[in-house]
Amino acid sequence: MAFRGKNAVVTGGAGGIGLQVSKQLLSAGAAVAIIDLQDNLEEFVKLRAAHPTQSVMIVKMDVANKKGVEATYEEIAKTFGSIDIVVNVAGIFNDKDVQRTLLVNLGGIINSTLSALPYMGKDHGGKGGIIVNMSSVVGLDPMFIIPVYGATKAGIINFTRCLANEKYYQRSGIKFVTVCPGATMTDMFTNFTEKIIFPETSDETYRILDRLNKQSAADVSRCILNVLEKDKNGAVYVIEGKRVFPLDLKPQWTGKEQAL
């Protein structure tokens, strides 16, 4: 995939991995619309100054707000004319706030993805494109200290793989990809033990966090651009140590009928 002239949407683009993805896309020549509840005026000013000839659209919106996200995509489509790329990054970590974690992490990915379809799908007059949804390695392998967060990330993988069904692709021309970064240095690690649901595991949590091989948000964003370039429908990738590793996820349920 070539990025120059493409129109991209990034959720959670005000900071962390989302901001770095926005920077990478702009540097590659794309126009970018950022959807985020957080303000980061200083960074937004820098983005526009660094890319004066490209469109940088900022929309303050909570991805958990379904109707708000739908209206946001309508606004983006009217401004850009079309949408080619969506990278859904927005997420939080706070296992103590179960409902909010579910609504933002899983609900937000679903809201953004489904809201993009009418403007991207060939069956709706769009050009097709690609949607990358960010999960995590803890959506693949359980980590006992963060069960709620891990559950949302597992849900993202299943949701995205379902939409990557070949029949959907033949109809819409939209490819769906999941990325699962390993430990990444973002605000997620701030006051980490205050947000876990089992405080008695705090000591063990610190030991686990200290042992993790951490990567930067910029490292992950470069890998996400690499994934976009691969343009492979249904793929699931682990991002670890500044590298991208494709996963071969084999069917576990042998009792189901052959795919329609």
| Catalytic residue numbers, as ranges | 149
Distances (CA, A) of 177 to 68, 86, 129, 182: 24, 10, 11, 17
Half-sphere CA count of 74, side-chain side, radius 13 A: 6
User: Tokens at residue 6, please?
Assistant: 């493409």
Helix (H) or strand (E) holding 19: helix 16-27
The first and second tokens of residue 239, run together, are 């991002």
Q: Quick one: CA torsion of 217, 177, 24, 244, rounded to 10 degrees?
A: 60
How do 236-240 and 243-246 pair as beta strands? antiparallel
